[in-house]
Amino acid sequence: MSDKPETASEAGAGLRVVVQIPCHNEAETLPQVLAEIPRDLPGVRDVRVLVIDDGSSDGTAAIARAHGADHVLGWPHRRGLAAAFREGLAHCLRLGADVIVQTDGDNQYRGSSIPALVAPVMHGGSDICIGIRPIATMPFSRLKRLLQYFGSFVVRLASNTQVRDAASGFRAFSRRAALQLTVISDFSYTLETVLQAPSKGLAIAQVPIEVNPPTRPSRLAASSWQYVRRSAPTIFRMMLLYSPLRLFGLLGGLASLAGGLGIGRFMMYYLRDGGAGHIQSLVLASAALILGCGLISLGLVADLIAANRKHLEEVLARVRQLELGKPDGPDEN
Residues 72 and 218 in one domain: yes
Could you tell me how far CA 100 lies from the centroid of its own chain?
14
Residues 203 and 274 in one domain: no
Intervals of the chain under pLDDT 50: 1-2, 4-12, 329-333
| pLDDT reported for residue 9 | 34
Position 330 in a domain? no
Residues 266 and 173 in one domain: no
What whole-number distance in Å separates Cα of residue 190 and Cα of residue 261? 40
Alpha carbon distances (Å) from 165 to 75, 169, 190, 204, 312: 30, 9, 10, 12, 30
| pLDDT reported for residue 327 | 53
Instruction: Assign 63 to helix, strand or coil.
Output: helix
Among 221, 241, 261, identify where a domain stops.
241
Position 308 in a domain? yes
| pLDDT reported for residue 50 | 97
| pLDDT reported for residue 305 | 85
Position 228 in a domain? yes
Structural domains of the chain, count? 2
Position 329 in a domain? no
Position 325 in a domain? no
For residue 45, the domain's CATH number is 3.90.550.10
Residues 137 and 257 in one domain: no
φ/ψ (deg, to 5) at 317: -65, -40
Among 206, 241, 276, identify where a domain stops.
241
Position 139 in a domain? yes
Residues 227 and 248 in one domain: no
Position 327 in a domain? no
Residues 231 and 296 in one domain: no
Residues 217 and 268 in one domain: no
Residues 75 and 214 in one domain: yes
Residues 178 and 204 in one domain: yes
Q: Domain range for residue 55?
A: 8-241
Give the pTM.
0.78
Alpha carbon distances (Å) from 71 to 30, 33, 317: 14, 15, 24
pLDDT tens digit sequence for 184-234: 887 788 988 998 998 888 999 999 998 988 777 666 665 667 777 777 888
pLDDT tens digit sequence for 258-273: 999 988 888 888 777 7
Position 332 in a domain? no
Residues 49 and 146 in one domain: yes
What burial class does residue 14 get, using C-beta atoms within 10 Å of its C-beta: 0-12 exposed, 13-18 middle, 19+ buried? Answer: middle
Residues 199 and 295 in one domain: no
